Structure 1
Amino acid sequence: MTSFVKAVRFWCASLVVLAVQSALAAEAPPKGNLLIAGGAVRADNVQVFQKLVELAGGQGARIAVMPSAAGNPERSGNNLAATLKRYGAQAFVVPVAVRLKDHDYKRDADDEALAKQVREAGGVYFVGGDQGLITKALVHPDGSRTAVLQAIWDVYQRGGVIAGTSAGAAIMSATMYYEADSVLGTLSGGVNDGRELAPGLGFVGTDVFVDQHLLARGRFARMLPAMLKKNYKLGLGVDENTAMVINGQREVEIIGYQGALLIDLTEAKTNGDEQRFNVSNARISYLDRGDRYNLRTRQYTPSDDKKDGKLDPAHPYLKEPVYSADILGHNAILVMMERLITNERTEAIGIASAMPGDPLEDLGFEFKLTRDATSVGYESATADAYTILNLRMDVRPLRMTRPWYR
């Protein structure tokens, strides 16, 4: 890609960001709710789908299904609508998608008849796929809203629910990952506007970064460079088959199969003398299903099964080192956090490294978690489940060595 094309893409992205931020700043706080799912939501996830129908108005509620992100919009839209109907909703598909055959998405996105249908719904649901296709279909090149997108905002403003899974979760914040590299690639190569990062739709506001597939794909690590780049202090990453509901009072509730990670960079610092990615004093918390967290007050409310389960740091029941050779692996960060919060040891180390043959195979990163006086843990009385609050996280680059016999 030429430097001219890169410059044009950055300029265009900057215009869209300004347009999104200006639009959000000019509007009153929405009265509605967000239901943000981390991807791979199973059709039998009763808690998530029943909550969505409830927030949209209850049995018989009209829910607009947006298949814009899907590779096969017709199939994905119809499947999701059928699932919602089984839970009692009157779901209908809105045919606005770049990849929808025999349709002109630019014309459809500004079709006032389609916009009216959406505006009269109690909720809107974005299916998964490619989040770049959502913004391409619903946002004009100058960053202004199409008629259908404005109708979606009208639903949210008056008290309806805006929901999405995977790509549909990524567009919830004002910044989203776009042409993303691997998780390790974002740490080693950095992130840039108009390439790895692009404007989202901003439903959650401009102060919180949202990401998805968090624990299953180790994406907590890629939240860090994005948040630092765009000066976010708070980030929420939700795991698969799980959702977080955010209401008009900025209260977050976790529902579904697992939980979400909260990243706080309020006191975080970086070492400018080090060329590779690094951060110190980031704070990481795990919110389990049933937990609540207020984004305004930073107050945590445990789920009912954890109300009497606050851990006593003076009486840990583990006394072993906590280490992971693949901190970006499936659920690895959560396992390490759980083992640290119940341990007499106060530090845990996790390593991330490239695969052999990678151009940067000698580069790795150390993730150090520290339990200090501000760290708190809660244990469920009914399941082997924990909530872990406010562990310190420091990340520094490492030089990796490979076997001598290669």
Structure 2
Amino acid sequence: MAPRPSPAARPDKMPKQPTDHTTEARLAPGFNATRRRFIGRAVQGAALVPLAASANTVGVAGNGSGPGIAVPIGGALRYDNHEVWARLVELAGGPGVRFAVFATAAGNPERSAGQIMQALRRHGAEPVHIAVAPGLRGVDVAAAVQDERWITTVLGCRGVFFAGGAQERITATLQPGGQPTPLLNAVWSVFNAGGVVAGTSAGAAVMSRLMFRDAQSVMKVLKGQLTDGRETDRGLGFVGPDLFIDQHFLKRGRIGRMLPLMTARGYQLGLGVEENSAAIVRGDQIEVIGARGALLADLREATHGRQGPVWELQGALLSFLDRGDRYDLTRRSLQPSATKAAEPVIDANAPSFKPYFNDRPFHLDILGDNTIANAMAHLIDNTATEVLGLAADVMPAADDPAPDLAFEFRLHKRPESRGWFSGALGGEDYSVAHLGLDVRPVRISLPLYTPWRR
């Protein structure tokens, strides 16, 4: 590879890649694959970067979860996403495998089930609609969850798929009052026999034992609005007792709600799956496939506190798992995809480290569309050792208990922080392991701005 040019020598009129977030484009330089191809890596390293577990490491996802495969999908799963649909069929047993489709969460269950079944058929599965949903006319769900016909049908499948919609419809139907129904027990039988239980959006939310029920405002959760039965509720728990799952994660900036929930409810591991992407969870092993990726939060060494709406966090670890990456929760190690593993590792501790970026952007909306993942990628390949971002509600509601309260997110490099880059798929694709994150409360002025007057 040619040596990496200095920033002053780089061409300044290369075409820029489009970005989904205009504010992000102004605050932090975009990642340009065309230029990137000419940048040499000076540091070669192993693909697997372990982080030694601390003495107070707790049990991780998969303990007591059964031998099955849980596949939370981050929502907005496209029906032409061949990789995800084909992999679901493959994991369940290959062509001819039977899939039970639950459109229980959907507002229009028949249409939702039909679209999912069509996608599964195109990839070789034999799906069947389990017509048990509050949105179906003439269906008594209380009787249907006891119906031997549906139970027998589910038991004859090797895969189960939960559609998106409202996750409380799934739990209220299959687990009313927290008690599993015979139909849910049949789903667990499939899982415990080594089958696949997958779900998109609402179907992903139910994968952990605790789920977000209805918490659309990330800032309200940051400020402490987190009530059982309203913002949160019981999930179904297919990923085990120690891993929390959230969805639509990067698109909707949901790191701002996942971290406060984790600290409030005692979770030390959280996985936020992005839209049109899936996480394959087998015990303590995670593999990410699809269009984008997932963000893993590890709070096993973190400290936190809350006093009313004021919340803070220190010592969290964040890793961004791009498509094709794997993560071992017990060993705390990220193994990048084959294309990235073939490239030199990005290690700021190496004497010959030559970062591509040389700035320190400030992100005015760290909860913006994909901002946290972009900030992590930008930092790992930068001369800077930290990047700051702000989470704030600049137009607070009248009943906001602390309208001028905001939160500073500080991403920073640690000795074990590593990164990988590949432009093989035509994009600016990074994987990032073990960046530090601190969140502290700050005060902002309201209104944030006023008209300029001469």
- Confirm or deny a common fold (TM above 0.5): yes
Q: Aligned-pair distance for 1:189?
A: 3.1
- Which consecutive residues of structure 2, in runs of 5 or more, have no partner in the other structure? 1-60
Root mean square deviation of aligned Cα: 1.9
Query: Which of the residues 154, 157, 161 maps onto 2:192?
Result: 157
Q: Cα–Cα, structure 1 residues 394 and 147, in superposed 2: closer, same or farther, change >3 Å? A: same
CA contact (8 A) 1:322 1:347 kept: no
CA contact (8 A) 2:65 2:238 kept: no
Aligned residue for 1:379?
A: 421
TM-score, structure 2 as length reference: 0.80
Q: Aligned-pair distance for 1:28?
A: 5.8
SS of 2:160's equivalent in the other structure is strand
Give the Cα–Cα distance (whole angstroms) in 2 for the partners of residues 233 and 204 of structure 1: 14
Matched, 1:118 2:160: no
Query: Which of the residues 422, 427, 437 maps onto 1:393?
Result: 437
Give the Cα–Cα distance (whole angstroms) in 2 for the partners of residues 309 and 358 of structure 1: 48
Q: Aligned-pair distance for 1:140?
A: 3.2
- Equivalent positions of 1:29-178 (< 5 A) are 29-141=65-177, 143-178=178-213
Residue deviations 1:173-193 (CA, integer Å, cap 9, x gap) = 000001214111110133122
Letter of the structure 1 residue corresponding to residue 429 of structure 2: A
Give the Cα–Cα distance (whole angstroms) in 2 for the partners of residues 224 and 270 of structure 1: 10
Aligned residue for 1:336?
A: 375
Give the Cα–Cα distance (whole angstroms) in 2 for the partners of residues 296 and 281 of structure 1: 18
Query: Which of the residues 305, 317, 321 maps onto 1:283?
Result: 317
SS of 2:374's equivalent in the other structure is helix
Q: Aligned-pair distance for 1:122?
A: 0.9
SS of 1:30's equivalent in the other structure is coil
Give the Cα–Cα distance (whole angstroms) in 2 for the partners of residues 324 and 253 of structure 1: 29
- Which consecutive residues of structure 1, in runs of 5 or more, have no partner in the other structure? 1-23
Percent identical among aligned pairs is: 43
Which protein has the bigger helix share?
A: 1
Residue deviations 1:44-88 (CA, integer Å, cap 9, x gap) = 100000001111211111100000100111111112111211111
Aligned residue for 1:4?
A: none
Aligned residue for 2:339?
A: 305
Say which is worse superposed, 273-282 or 340-349, in terms of deviation: 273-282
- Equivalent positions of 1:201-350 (< 5 A) are 201-247=236-282, 249-271=283-305, 276-307=310-341, 308-313=343-348, 314-350=353-389
SS of 1:52's equivalent in the other structure is helix
CA contact (8 A) 2:289 2:324 kept: yes
Residue deviations 1:333-392 (CA, integer Å, cap 9, x gap) = 111111111111111011111142523442221111111212111112524211111111
Aligned residue for 2:411?
A: 369
Give the Cα–Cα distance (whole angstroms) in 1 for the partners of residues 127 and 308 of structure 2: 52
Give the Cα–Cα distance (whole angstroms) in 2 for the partners of residues 82 and 104 of structure 1: 26
Q: Cα–Cα, structure 1 residues 368 and 271, in superposed 2: closer, same or farther, change >3 Å? A: same
Q: Cα–Cα, structure 1 residues 240 and 279, in superposed 2: closer, same or farther, change >3 Å? A: same
- Runs of 4+, deviation exceeding 6 Å: none
Q: Cα–Cα, structure 1 residues 273 and 125, in superposed 2: closer, same or farther, change >3 Å? A: closer
TM-score, structure 1 as length reference: 0.90
